[in-house]
Amino acid sequence: MGATAKGSGLSSFAHAIVLFSSSAQSQIQAALKRWSTQDDLGREIVRNLNPLERFLPPDAMKVLLDAIRKAHKLTVDQLILGYRDACYTQTMRGGSIKCVPPTLVGRAVEKDIFVWFLFRSERKFFKIKANASDLVDRLLIGDKLTPKETGILMSQFAAWVTWNDKGSADPFDFAADAFHVRACLGLDNKRRVDKPLLLLVYSLAAGLSLVRPTVADAGLHSFFEPPPIGIDEHGWTKTWPAKLARTKTKAKPIPRPEAIHSPVPLAYLKSPARLL
């Protein structure tokens, strides 16, 4: 995974920026200032980059900053694309979580999105989309999977998960409704958010590490923020703002533990999937 930034409370940015020449540093700072003042999402990302991010190793942060430097004379839209592509190359670099690993983790994903992912990733197995939909329906009733089905991966890239920090087995025992889950986990709110939400609960096999998420893993996602200084065990979700959450759910959004892990197969599922 690589070592995280060294130094008590010192940010990854502080370690990485000194690896550039003085002229390159000026270019990076100018580009960051422009991005943070001309783009709402950029304002959040720039703040995460400096000073909040601490888990990303300096060499990985250097890659992100170099992409920003190269775009310092380009449009903000071009800067955004360059930064996004650099993030893709530096995922899963935040180091393993520092707490006792949970027994169960939970992932929330829209049912339609999950069905489409299964269909696209296993086209030779699912002849039509309805076959993938049928498999998800079987997951909801706890139907026994075939050997081939148990080997199907649940994600293409790193998956974001949460767990119960109070000791209960259910990672989603905080959930009041689907909107509450979205608000607590900071799921996308810019698209339609009234579609059925699938809750997947599964175990971690020996050797599978939960990794602390970084700005590179978050990419251009708007609801992400590194944890405060002194909280190094794992990540915490950035919830929807209270005003936004109140328009969808009566329950107050509460940050939940978060981490990421490499793709795992359906065989890891420990209980029937749920639909909210």
Residue 27 sits in the same domain as residue 109: no
Q: Over range 226-239, report the average pLDDT.
A: 94
Whether residue 158 is contained in a domain is answered as yes
Please, which pLDDT band fits residue 192 given cuts at 50, 70 and 90? low
191, pLDDT greater than 70: no
Residue 81 sits in the same domain as residue 114: no
1, pLDDT greater than 50: no
Residue 123 sits in the same domain as residue 211: yes
Taking the CA atoms of residue 53, residue 54, residue 59 and residue 62 in that order, the dihedral angle to the nearest 10 degrees is: 30
Whether residue 2 is contained in a domain is answered as no
**Are residues 205 and 267 in contact, defined by beta-carbon separation less than 8 angstroms?**
no
Give the pLDDT confidence of 238-261 residue by residue, as tens digits: 999 988 888 888 899 999 999 999
* 158 contact partners, CB below 8 Å, separation of at least 6: 91, 92, 211, 217, 260, 261, 262, 263
Residue 157 sits in the same domain as residue 191: yes
Q: What pLDDT score was predicted for residue 193?
A: 65
Please, which pLDDT band fits residue 60 given cuts at 50, 70 and 90? very high
Whether residue 98 is contained in a domain is answered as no
Whether residue 97 is contained in a domain is answered as no
Residue 80 sits in the same domain as residue 171: no
Residue 108 sits in the same domain as residue 49: no
Instruction: Give, as one character, the DSSP assignment of residue 266.
Output: G
Q: What pLDDT score was predicted for residue 29?
A: 97
Q: Which of 88, 122, 144 finishes a domain?
A: 88
207, pLDDT greater than 80: no
The number of distinct structural domains making up the chain is: 2
CA distance 204 to 148: 20
Q: Which of 64, 88, 112 finishes a domain?
A: 88
Residue 82 sits in the same domain as residue 124: no
Environment class of residue 31 by beta-carbon count within 10 Å: exposed (0-12), middle (13-18) or buried (19+)? buried
Q: Over range 120-141, report the average pLDDT.
A: 95
- Domain range for 231 is 104-275
State the average pLDDT for the chain: 92
Choose the most confident range, by mean pLDDT, from 1-15, 75-89, 206-220: 75-89
Residue 147 sits in the same domain as residue 239: yes
Residue 70 sits in the same domain as residue 110: no
**What is this structure's pTM?**
0.92
